[in-house]
Amino acid sequence: MNEGQIWIDEEITEDTYQSVKAQLINNSAASDLTLHIASPGGSVYAGYKIYHAIKAAKKPIKVLVEGEAMSMASFLMVLGSSKACNPSRIMIHLPKSGVEGTSADMINGANELIKIEEEMAQEYSKKTGIPIDKIKAMMAKETYMTAQEAKDLGFVDEVISNTYLKAVAVGKPMKEKNLAQKALALANAALESIG
């Protein structure tokens, strides 16, 4: 099985969308995808494009939260079965906008935010089984969750604890004298190349 890796480790922007598209092309032969999320969130519209681009790959998707999935990044967790590293933080909130202009612009901007809120709440509700009105209340108060809290509420499916790998050397043991001599020879060679 050839597993593809997609990384979102920055604020979500149009550039992130372009990066994800390129990563999807690079992983076109993969049988399934793991989406790594370590993001404070960002643009709703770029996030929607990322969501659809990954869905369009038509591959099984696993999501791994590595430290943070805030705002729009938490929305992308609904793309597949999900795990959150412990510790991590997941946050959901109401969409925000910096609309400027006339009163009509403000009304149109508010209406757009209401639509986005509804769309996001529906997806969170499908993932968690929490009723939409409760999801909206959680979004309204800007809810931060630990990895375990997110699991308990159904936003992620599993919490994984960090495991530390031990370096293992295989080969013939060297005597300390030989090791020191080799290290000294490497250091001298490096100094000569600089000079």
Burial 81-119 (b: 16+ CB within 10 A, else e): ebbbbeebbbbbbbbeeeeeeeeeeeeeeeeebeebbee
From the list 39, 71, 82, 88, the catalytic residue is 71
Is 71 designated active site? yes
Beta-carbon count within 10 A of 53 CB: 16
Dihedral sign, Cα of residue 103, residue 109, residue 112, residue 118:
negative
Dihedral sign, Cα of residue 145, residue 149, residue 155, residue 161:
positive
From the list 39, 74, 88, 93, the catalytic residue is 93
Is 93 designated active site? yes
Q: How far is the CA of 71 from the CAs of 47, 143, 149, 177, in angstroms?
A: 10, 10, 16, 56
Beta-carbon count within 10 A of 134 CB: 14
- Is residue 147 a contact partner of residue 67, using CB atoms and an 8 Å limit? no
3-class secondary structure, 159: strand
Active-site residues: which are they? 71, 93
